[in-house]
Structure 1
């Protein structure tokens, strides 16, 4: 189990700020990160870009890119994290986009999601397929995002 307090402590010790841009999790990641007292010292905010239109409007992701790859794609996850980092003015931005189900979307299976983490030096994107109900998939996304965020923080120089 991921320890959110430990993640926040790592970020605070390294003087790093965190933000999130979420689609399929609808704010669940940010709610989890802010559930611990003192989160405001490192968490600056987040965006829920649940629809294609919001990804275009709030993150300036091109309509052409979305039409070509779909919102459930490595390319869009990359842009969500990169632009989220810029828009939220944070050191690290975690982005999640995918299909929690129950149906196939954009010809992509239920449970497929992309997790992207943008730092000042790189953007890493991970493709994951989770199993279970819609709720289980969304929770699995958040757990994996927290694990990857912790790993990213451990690699950052203070």
Structure 2
């Protein structure tokens, strides 16, 4: 992989940080909603649905439908948990990368990639020139690429 391509992949990873937390929150909400649906489906009693006694070998289409829903919801929860785990791994990886930076470099990366500030906005906030901000950013990206290339 070319160095420029790695640099672009790293920058895309950094830009994605803001959306990772949003994705984590959405996945958690979906898991909670499915969990509530599963619990409500489990609370349904077969005799209340059809008047037929449960467990005597009589096929109850409603009961079978509820069981299929529970299995489907359970599979969906497992998929969501897998996505959630990957999102946390990505977030933790970026957090670990940031620990390698000096405080000012880290601040520039956070403002530029996470908060999507333009260079002039970072200059104004940190009281440095645009050229200095670019140097901090370049130095930070170079440090991060050293570690990013090995993973």
What interval of TM-score do these two structures reach, taking the shorter chain for normalisation? Answer: under 0.3
User: Which gives a bigger RCO, structure 1 or 2 (Cα 8 Å, sep 6+)?
Assistant: 2
After TM superposition, the score normalised by the length of structure 2 is: 0.24
Larger radius of gyration: 2
After TM superposition, the score normalised by the length of structure 1 is: 0.23
